[in-house]
Amino acid sequence: MFRSAELVTALRSVTRELFERLRDETVDADAAYVVAPASIEEAAAVLAAAADAGIPTTFRGGGNRRQTGAPAAADLIVTTTRLASIIDWRPDDLTVIVGAGLPVDDLESEIAERSQTAVLPETAAGSTIGGVLAAGASGYRRLRYGPTRDRVLQVRMATGYGKVVTGGSPVVKSSTGYGMARLVTGSLGSLGLIGEVTLKLWSRPLAVSTVRVDDAAAAYRRTYRPLAVLETPDGASLYLGGSANQVAAQAVAIGGRASPNLAWPEPITDPVRVEMRVPAACVEEAIRWVQRIGATRWIAQHGVGIVSAGIDALDVAGVGAARAWAESVSGALVVLAGADDRIDPWGTPPPSIEIQRRIKAAFDPAGICNPSILPGRL
Amino acid sequence: MDATARLIELLGVDRVRTEPIDRMVYAKDSGVTAGEPAIVVLPETTAEVAAVVRIAAAFDMPIVARGAGTGLAGGAVACPGALLVVLTRMNQIVMVDEVGRTALVGPGLINLDLSHALVGRNLHFAPDPSSQQASTIGGNAATNAGGPHCLAEGSTVAHVLGVEVVSADGEILMLGGAAPDPPGYDLRGLMVGSEGTLGIVTQLLVRLTENPPQTVTMLIAFDDINDAARTGSDIIGAGLVPAALEMMDHEMIVAIENFVSAGLPVEADAVLLAEVVGHADGVAEEAGVIRSIAVRNRATDVRVASDEDERALLWKGRKSAFGAIAQAAPDYYLNDTVVPRTRFVDVLGEIYAIADRYGIRLMNVFHAGDGNLHPLVSYDASQPGMTDIVVEAAHEMVCVAVAAGGTLSGEHGIGLEKRDLMDQVFTDVDLDAQARISQAFDPARRMNPGKVLPDGARCFDRPSS
Ligand SMILES: Cc1cc2nc3c(=O)[nH]c(=O)nc-3n(C[C@H](O)[C@H](O)[C@H](O)COP(=O)(O)OP(=O)(O)OC[C@H]3O[C@@H](n4cnc5c(N)ncnc54)[C@H](O)[C@@H]3O)c2cc1C
Ligand SMILES: Cc1cc2nc3c(=O)[nH]c(=O)nc-3n(C[C@H](O)[C@H](O)[C@H](O)COP(=O)(O)OP(=O)(O)OC[C@H]3O[C@@H](n4cnc5c(N)ncnc54)[C@H](O)[C@@H]3O)c2cc1C
């Protein structure tokens, strides 16, 4: 593997002019070299050169999720800071095309003007759309609107073999070729750089409400399509959205203390963070498991099956036991942050690992894109 | 032993068909292409499917999966020498989980049979293709089928949580599952919509949707189809996504009324069928907004149904459309293409102009809310050359939609019939990337070869792994 001086020499010898032009002085480089392409074509040229020279490469949006997966020891960082605009917002079609480097909050506040939302994570300040897509992250409102991947209509990317590829279709409904946009969503930058995405939008509900309840599961069963049902150590809440009359009527029917806004819990920032992903019916048991491994803070998504938790220190045996349970109910326990050599961030690789390996090889034949970030250290 | 003998040994003589009559029965789907399989098998278990695939591999036979054969793209049409694997006998409902709102089903289960089995449990399977009385859930997944209620609920892919698959080398794999966001690539999301080219789906874990507490259905009539189309666009532009928003043009209305008396206004140039669902208070407000948008666009009549019987009557016309077409002419070509919802008025106009130019009879019944057009040509295929003319016109219509920023297919898939149009929406490099996916699943190119991707899609060197 290259390190600083050697790397720079290698890069210069490959395409000196290209790299110098794209070099990003604004990012403090903890890797040897940071480039900020201004187009997907430039990103593809960078990746082609990196693939030729065998330079391990990572991608950076907001830089919030650098820990996840096995941290790739990359010598080259490609950032999306110059691919960060709203390219085409079509409010009357409920779609938008954006550069991957656009911060989630910037998009949401822009389209809120016409009362629209891309249903991206609610508390992901500083995250970019490319980062969210790469992570396959969804907001709490997925209970009502489905996960992020269902709204990714088209992706333009620079592949690990240095080509610009468009996958998916630019319209809200399509059976035209393979679900490339679905493949790329959640691929953690292991196939290449996501440059541009077309997203499906929804209207924001006219009225919203957060209702505190005692028994989240019971209240959920009695309420038609809340936006989210969250439980934390501080209690449980139903999040409602709809017309003013509807929300008022639903809040009364639930019978808890209601406030006329969406009061999302503070994101978890502990140094060690884990996420249980289990069938929705197993959420309550998953909560007991994260308590057992010493979670100080946790957020459970009823109806979805995700419990994220922050812990002070990694208890390897405890996390191993919790993971064994999660996998026994066909779920997973992912260590989002704070994983070390003693524990794999993902757990048992999926049975389809061989096909996954072949897909990785097909899109990143030189193995340079976020190496070993995926389950099975792909 | 030859392949047939091996298959008979596995399945018994009754479930291996090689007679000319059998091969003819299975030579077509519901589109316009045809091709006889060499052998037809009817497995009943996943293990049998896996064994069948291994036998086919041993004899180097291509494999084509088939559900009910209602596909309209030629996806289930056999290529030369193919082993056709018919999955209709794998039609069991293995499990329904009312708390987790999921069901585990066989791929051969007929779509509507699942919703029937759920009556009384306040749940349903949301994808509702017009073919739901006949098409299989495996086929729906393979084509990423849509239907009127996929406007708000999403196409089949949003309702398939996991698939059990027999891969090209005969291995049984579970992709996805009941837990959200499984680590690794979303192979489930690739399998859905892959039209049998990445493996055979042998079981599906599907998401069930809560029945809405209240439903209001509206039938809105217009004197001018452009007003109807603009109403559809304006509803979406207002940020409203109704549960369903369907449109039928005059020709279609008349054909339906001649077939069944559904009470459609035969004097109208077009009707919109809109449905809003949800909490009682919210539904009333949304219905009010739709009504005022329609009136602003010169609607001549707005009929509202709020009880089940009235609703059933309003839907009866829409649901009888294909029966009506079958009666109106001996053959029909049902096209499928999507445009951005803002472009839908102009594209519709261009599509009528193409039909006029070719002198063919066009009817339209389609999913207005998501811009999914279904221009439908009724014709007589026994007239020499007629099918070719119709297909040519249909392709021109698709190209008009693509030029407007749309795509080839919204729900029927690519199969054989649109395969050679793929280069209208994808570059060589894009197609090569898709070929890499198919190669990763099926290096020997055994599963439904020649479908979806045009020949020579792989234009770059095979990556060395
Ligand atoms: C409430 C909440 C809490 C969360 N907590 C965590 C957490 O604790 N740990 C965690 O890891 N995630 C967490 N996430 C997921 C979170 O959405 C992502 O961390 C975040 O979106 C990353 O965005 P970013 O722009 O900062 O990406 P980055 O941190 O810059 O990158 C994230 C990953 O994606 C890759 N990537 C970034 N941009 C691209 C691109 N354009 N193309 C290809 N690959 C790219 C990077 O190489 C990296 O592997 C959380 C999300 C929410 C909503
Ligand atoms: C009158 C009529 C109305 C229709 N309306 C609609 C509509 O509203 N919406 C819509 O989306 N479609 C519609 N269709 C098209 C068709 O019904 C759908 O494409 C349906 O999903 C096909 O299901 P099937 O079981 O008939 O599949 P088939 O036609 O048998 O096969 C379709 C494709 O799926 C593959 N396949 C089937 N089963 C499997 C399996 N188990 N594993 C892997 N691959 C498999 C086949 O190889 C083929 O490529 C309509 C068709 C007709 C005739």
CB-closest option in A186, A249, A355 to B279: A249
A355 falls within a domain: no
* Å between B314 CA and nearest CA of chain A: 25
The two three-digit tokens of residue A368, written as one number: 């340079």
Q: Which residue of B has its CA nearest to A244?
A: B282
A48 and A151: one domain?
A: no
Tell me if residue A171 falls in helix, strand or coil.
coil
Q: What is the number of CB-based contacts under 8 A between chain A and chain B?
A: 267
A39 and A105: one domain?
A: no
Chain B touched by A171 (CB under 8 Å): yes
Position A117 pLDDT exceeds 50: yes
CATH number given to B3-86: 3.30.43.10
* High-pLDDT (> 90) share of chain A, %: 78
A314 falls within a domain: yes
Chain A touched by B184 (CB under 8 Å): yes
Contact A176 B465 (CB under 8 A): no
Kindly list the protein residues whose Cβ atom lies closer than 6 A to any atom of ligand 1: A 58-68, 80, 100, 121, 123-124, 127-128, 130-132, 134-135, 137, 188-189, 193-194, 267, 273, 336-337, 370, 373
Angle at B426 between CA B422 and CA B427, to 5 degrees: 120
What are the CA-CA distances from residue A373 to residues A72, A342, A345, B371, B404 (Å)? 6, 16, 9, 39, 40
Task: Output the CA A67–ligand 1 centroid distance in Å.
Answer: 9
What are the CA-CA distances from residue B456 to residues A323, B79, B326, B435 (Å)? 45, 17, 37, 9
pLDDT tens digits, one per residue of A8-48: 566 665 566 677 677 766 555 555 688 999 999 999 999 99
Separation of alpha carbons B408 and B410, rounded Å: 7
pLDDT at B465: 34
B214-323 and B328-434 share one CATH topology? yes
Neighbour count for residue B461 (Cβ, 10 Å): 9
Q: Which domain-ending residue is among A81, A97, A115? A: A81
**Confidence grade of residue A66 (pLDDT, cut at 50, 70, 90):** low
Nearest CA-CA partner of A240 in A266, A212, A209, A219: A209
pLDDT tens digits, one per residue of B376-415: 998 999 999 999 999 999 999 999 999 999 999 999 999 9
Separation of alpha carbons B416 and B137, rounded Å: 21
DSSP string, A173-211: ---SS--HHHHHTT-TTSSEEEEEEEEE-EEPPSEEEEE
Q: Which residue of B has its CA nearest to A328?
A: B179
Tell me if residue B355 falls in helix, strand or coil.
helix
Tell me if residue B83 falls in helix, strand or coil.
strand
Task: Output the CA A166–ligand 1 centroid distance in Å.
Answer: 22
Nearest protein CA to atom 11 of ligand 2, as residue: B145
Q: Which residue numbers in chain B have pLDDT < 50?
A: 460-465
What are the CA-CA distances from residue B177 to residues A110, A330, B458 (Å)? 36, 7, 31
Q: What is the CA radius of gyration of chain A?
A: 21
What are the CA-CA distances from residue A247 to residues A80, A206, B103 (Å)? 40, 9, 30
What are the CA-CA distances from residue A366 to residues A159, A166, B60, B165, B400 (Å)? 11, 21, 32, 29, 40
Q: Does the CB atom of residue B135 touch ligand 2 within 6 A?
A: yes
Contact B179 A359 (CB under 8 A): no
DSSP string, B170-216: S-EEEEE-SSSS-SS--HHHHHTTSTTSS-EEEEEEEE-EEPPSEEE
Chain B touched by A161 (CB under 8 Å): yes
Q: Which residues of B touch A134 (CB under 8 A)?
A: none
Task: Output the CA A269–ligand 2 centroid distance in Å.
Answer: 47
CATH number given to B328-434: 3.30.70.2740
Q: Which domain-ending residue is among A182, A203, A224? A: A203
Range A161-178 average pLDDT:
97
Number of domains present in the structure of chain A: 4
A297 falls within a domain: yes
pLDDT at A334: 96
**Confidence grade of residue A70 (pLDDT, cut at 50, 70, 90):** very low
The two three-digit tokens of residue B413, written as one number: 């898939």
pLDDT at A13: 59
Domain containing A225: what range? Answer: 207-259
Q: Which residues of B touch A349 (CB under 8 A)?
A: 184
Domain ranges across chain B = 3-86, 93-210, 214-323, 328-434
Nearest protein CA to atom 47 of ligand 1, as residue: A59
Nearest protein CA to atom 7 of ligand 1, as residue: A336
A114 falls within a domain: yes
Residue A244 buriedness (CB in 10 A; 0-12 / 13-18 / 19+) = middle
Ramachandran angles phi, psi of A91, nearest 5°: -60, -35
Over chain A, what is the mean pLDDT?
91
Nearest CA-CA partner of A189 in B179, B185, B433, B190: B185
pLDDT at B324: 86
Task: Output the CA B151–ligand 1 centroid distance in Å.
Answer: 30
Which ligand has the minimum distance to the alpha carbon of residue B321? 2
pLDDT at B463: 38
A166 and A235: one domain?
A: no
Chain B touched by A223 (CB under 8 Å): no
pLDDT at B458: 63
pLDDT at A1: 42
A130 and A223: one domain?
A: no
Probe ligand 2: pick from B42, B130, B173, max atoms within 8 Å of CB?
B130
Task: Output the CA A9–ligand 1 centroid distance in Å.
Answer: 31
Nearest CA-CA partner of A156 in A139, A168, A145, A144: A168
Q: Which residues of B touch A170 (CB under 8 A)?
A: 340, 405-407
Which ligand has the minimum distance to the alpha carbon of residue B195? 2
Q: Which residue of B has its CA nearest to A367?
A: B465
Contact B410 A177 (CB under 8 A): no
Give the nearest ligand 2 atom to B70 CA.
26
Contact A330 B173 (CB under 8 A): no
pLDDT tens digits, one per residue of A296-333: 899 999 999 999 999 988 889 999 999 999 999 999 99
CATH architecture of the domain with range B93-210: 2-Layer Sandwich (3.30)
A91 and A193: one domain?
A: yes
Chain B touched by A254 (CB under 8 Å): no
Is the CATH number 1.10.150.20 carried by domain B214-323?
no
Q: How many residues does chain B have?
A: 465
CATH classification of the domain holding A213: 3.30.70
Given the DSSP bridges, would you call strands A76-79 and A57-60 parallel, antiparallel or unpaired?
parallel
Q: Which domain-ending residue is among A61, A81, A101? A: A81
CATH classification of the domain holding A56: 3.30.43.10
A365 falls within a domain: no
